[in-house]
Structure 1
Amino acid sequence: VIISDAMGMGAITNNYGFEEAIVLAVLAGTDILLYTGNQYNGRSLVAEVTRIIRQNIDANILSEARIDASYDRIMTLKNKIPVSVIPSPYVPETPFLISAFPNPFNNTVRIRLSVNRHIYESVPLRIYSSSGQLIRHVDLSVRGHGDYEIAWDGTSADGKAVSSGIYIYTAEINGRYVSGKMALLK
């Protein structure tokens, strides 16, 4: 498989036009043309190169057999190189998850924070309306890994019942946030 150098380099562009460089490279036996961008005159570079090659095949300057031979060489090489997925020994760990149940809810919803690290701090849990208004703020006292829950009865910080709708709940630990949506149906 023969791969070109950058087709846009000065040694080529200073001496040959775009179309002429493509035709000469293919006639010289180049199988893969390398470019440093993906646009040519505001159009897709791949579409332009394909158009030029097709046009020159139709004009009998390039042969379709020559293009097929390049394709066959590329596929033969591709099939010789094994590709495998090697599992990474590092799997990023989510330090905590948050969920609400039942969801949707009518009277009371339980918001659960599941912590899988030894964290000892006060974790702010906030409930917002769908318009972004803070409805309720509770600090959960987290003492190590485990599940922590609060029950929310659908009232604001001043004890007033909120209307039916979508509410967002969030928690923050060490600058990392998790959130979810819950629906209150009355």
Structure 2
Amino acid sequence: MEVAGPYLNFFLDKAAFSAEILGNVLTQGADYGQNQNGNGGNVPIDMSSPNIAKPISMGHLRSTVIGNSIAEILKKNGYKPIKDNHLGDWGTQFGKLITAYLKWGNEEDVKKDPISYLVQYYVKFHKEDVEHPELDDEAREWFKKLEDGDQQAHELWSWFRDESLKLSMPFMIN
């Protein structure tokens, strides 16, 4: 150890430390690192949580792998990880998407390639919205209808969600 101003520096003999750790891993095998420090406590883990009606990216895969790795480490330490891969499936963006779909959408296109077309409608909404700010009011009305349980709004939201889930499920680890 060495004190350097406000810091306390620790130095290890890397070769000796590595040899000791690797020896423990080889001796203990799958039990290496196992303990019950967590006493069965629950730990929520937020996984990738992709948004529906948008493409899955490598970033979603990365955060899913990281979340799953953290869950495995927690299990080894006696915790009960609770993995949540919540789909971002609610919010004002759905008022915008419903508005865009009703104005420019096509059911056959969405059935053929849901994510691509839903993203196109959403992007078009934001381009049109620059010159037609009243679209924002219409989108807020549709989201309010969705929150209030309007049948048409809910059916569209459910359909967008279901189509997105068909494409998202292979990337979700639970």
Q: Is this a same-fold pair by TM over 0.5? A: no
Q: Could you say which structure has the higher strand fraction?
A: 1
Q: Could you say which structure has the higher helix fraction?
A: 2
TM range (shorter): under 0.3
Normalised to the residue count of structure 2, the TM-score between the two structures is 0.26
Which of these two proteins has the greater Rg computed from alpha carbons?
1
Normalised to the residue count of structure 1, the TM-score between the two structures is 0.25
